[in-house]
Every structure is written in structure tokens, then in C-alpha cells.
Amino acid sequence: MKFILSSLKLLKAIQALSGVINSSNTLPILDDFLFDINDDELKITASDLETTMTVSIKPDMVEGKGQVTIPARLLIDVMKNFPDIPVSFNIDEATLAIEITTGEGRYKMVGHKSDEFPQVPVITEPSVWEIPADVLACGFEKTIFATGNDEIRPIMTGVYMAMSDTCLTFVATDAHKLVRYRRMDVKSDTAASFIVPKKPINQLKNILAGRADEQVHVEFNNTNASFTFGEYKLICRLIEGRYPNYEAVIPTTNPNKLIVDRQLLNAAIKRVAIFSSKATHQIRFKINGQELVLTAEDLDYSNEAKERLTCNYTGEDMEIGFSSKFFQEMLANLSQNEIQLEMSAPNRAGIITPVDNQNADEDILMLLMPVMLN
């Protein structure tokens, strides 16, 4: 088997796949990329048993066909150090010896048999969605930070996706914060939903950036989902179980409404948070008339900070505590100039929404549980 292609083209493909490979694998074969050469096409696959990703490339020249697995780390390291030049791969089918030649350079490594590499899962009787690449990337970007890390509740470690005849919804929560992102411009006649784990979301999010004009073909059943776009295909095992009734925790009656500049608030929280308790990251919001006072203190070190902001507020004067860490995450994942914080009581969740959303097809709601004031 022999093929020739651009080193940069190959490097881009294997770097995109490398995120699938775990730093330590139970099966040594999972440290490799599977190279499948057939009909003038090269397919490269990476897998960790739960997530499998394939990229298809057209080499400049192909001779023969077959499969071999190549150590991933070694291949990436060598490709990273080449300029953009043609590289030639010559693979001995009997010994699996691999010779890479580049003009004056010759490099040798040994591949492994492909029969131990995991089979790509086949999704039987799938449901099908078509989602614009930029919508999928944005939905994942806006929600993934709110997912949980508690393996005891695996359902909350992923992003819930649901399609109906009115919209496509992305939801993530860790019981302290919740984000619901809706797109009214993507819908389906048949309602369906599933929960995607964090790892494949990060893989997709990185590769989908800058592919605004493409459509992602999504196929799924009860156990697996595949995402196909351009030269890439990712198949992942879904998180099984019933997602919590997130709508039930979103308070609907919030008479106290605060409108404030997002960037000014974020900068003030950053400064004040430096003086907060390292255990709770608690910041006190004291709203009085058209004035918002942020305070934080760390009693162990006698540290204290206070900052005033002007705001637009309707409702009763109130004091409420929030985690500065979570609040900053939410503000960082919004792009609008002003946000509205809706509250009902100091012990009830606050709702953050953008005020000046330019996209009529987009709806985003962020919920943050308060922390008890000292």
C-alpha cells in the first residue's frame, strides 16, 4: 500500500481526531489511528469505544488498498514538524512496516493489525435531523459550561437536545445553574430528544466553528447518535435515562427586574470576587432604587470589597447572594450589551436573559440558584 498527500492536510485531519483518544487506554490499539485505504480514498478513524470519529481524505496518489493502525502520538509529533510538503507513505502489508519519505527525509515506524480496532457502530432504524452547523455549534457553546461533573448523576453530565414542531432546544444543568437555548428556525414534524455526552460535544464544537454554510446530518436511536458534515463523521454513545423536568424549576413569577450593562457588571464582579471567600465565592447583590451594590468578604483573612453600579430596577429593595464564579460564566456566554436579572425572593433562583437580542429566532434563558447570605 502506498499513498502521497500534503503533510498539512494530514496534520489537520489527525489533530481534529486526536481529541477522541484518551491519555490512558485499557486497550493498546486505542492509542492508534486506523488508516483505511480504498478506491482512491483514505479514511482515518480514532475511537475510545464510546466515541468514534472518522475523516475522509483524497490523497494525491494511491496504490493498493488495505488497513493498518498507526501510533497516533508519534504520527502527530512527526507531522507537526514538517513544513507544507508532499509526504509519501509506503506500508508493507506483510510486516506492517511504515516508511514515510519527504524529499531528503526517511522515517520508519511499525503499524499494527487492524482486526483488533473497534468496529464503527451501526445505527439501526435511526431518526434523522438536519441542523445548520452554526446552530449546532452555538447551541453546544452556550450550554456545555452548565453541565455537571457528578458521575453519580450521569444524565446531568451531558447536554439535552430536543426537537419539536416549534423549535430545537438545548438544555444543560448541574442543579446549581441551568441554561436553556432555543432556536425557532430549526424544527421537525416528529418530536424527539436525546442526551449527548460532554466529550463528543467538545469534539464537534471545535470542528464546526467556521462551517456556517454547512448542514449537519444527525442520525440517532436509543443508544447512539451520529453527526455527519463535510469530510467528518462522529458517532457517540448517548447518555441513557430520562432528563429532569427542567421547566418545573424555572420560576415564572419574578416581579423584581434589574437591567444592567453586561460588561460593566462582569468587570465589577471580577474585581469584587477577588475578596470573596475561596470556599463559597459568594457575592452579595444589594439593590436599592436605581443602585446595585456588590459586596464580598473573606472573614478568614479580613478581606472586604464593595462596588456600586447604576442600574434600571423595578421591584422591592432586596439583598441576594450568588456565586461569583457561576455568574461570571453566564455573563461570559452572552454577547448582548445589556442583561436582565429577574428575581422573586432571596431564596429563589434568579433568571438571566439578554435584553437586546438581535436574532428573533434565538431564545436563551439562564437560571442561577442563590447562595445563602452569611
Domains of the chain, residue spans:
2-116, 127-247, 250-368
Query: Do 203 and 136 meet the contact criterion of CB atoms below 8 Å apart?
Result: no
Strands (E), 240-298: 256-261, 282-288, 291-298
The CATH number of the structural domain formed by 127-247 is 3.10.150.10
- Give every CB contact of residue 71 below 8 A, 6+ residues apart in sequence: 31, 32, 109, 111
The DSSP line for 44-85 is EEEE-SSEEEEEEE--SEEES-EEEEEEHHHHHHHHHTS-S-
For the chain, the first-to-last Cα distance in angstroms comes to 70
The DSSP line for 290-301 is TEEEEEEEETTT
CA distance 101 to 256: 69
How confident is the model over 188-246, as pLDDT tens digits?
998 999 999 999 999 999 899 888 889 999 999 999 999 999 999 999 999 999 999 99
Q: What pLDDT was estimated at residue 191?
A: 94
CA distance 289 to 293: 11
Q: What pLDDT was estimated at residue 136?
A: 97
Q: What pLDDT was estimated at residue 96?
A: 95
| Residue 120: how many other CB atoms lie within 10 Å | 15
Instruction: Spell out, as residue ranges, where the chain has pLDDT lower than 70.
Output: 374
Query: Do 88 and 102 meet the contact criterion of CB atoms below 8 Å apart?
Result: yes
Fold of 250-368: DNA Polymerase III; Chain A, domain 2 (3.10.150)
Sheet holding 291-298, edge to edge: 303-310, 291-298, 282-288, 318-323
How confident is the model over 321-335, as pLDDT tens digits?
999 999 999 999 999
CA distance 275 to 346: 22
CA distance 274 to 353: 25
Count of residues for the chain?
374
CA distance 299 to 277: 8
> How far is residue 351 from each of residues 180, 259, 289, 345, measured CA to CA in Å?
11, 12, 20, 12
CA distance 34 to 72: 9
The C-alpha angle with vertex 242 and arms to 240 and 244, in degrees rounded to 5, equals 130
Q: What pLDDT was estimated at residue 236?
A: 98
Burial string for 151-176 (b: 16+ CB within 10 Å, else e) reads: eeeebbbbbbbbbeeebbbbbbbbeb
For residue 132 the three cell numbers come to: 445548520
For residue 364 the three cell numbers come to: 436563551
Decide if 2-116 and 127-247 have a common fold. yes
Q: What pLDDT was estimated at residue 357?
A: 83
The yes or no reply on domain 2-116 and CATH 3.40.640.10 is no
For residue 147 the three cell numbers come to: 453541565
Cα 26 from chain centre? 25
Query: Do 293 and 305 meet the contact criterion of CB atoms below 8 Å apart?
Result: no
The DSSP line for 93-123 is TTT-EEEEEETTEEEEEE-B-GGGSPPPP--
For residue 189, give the 3-state DSSP assignment.
coil
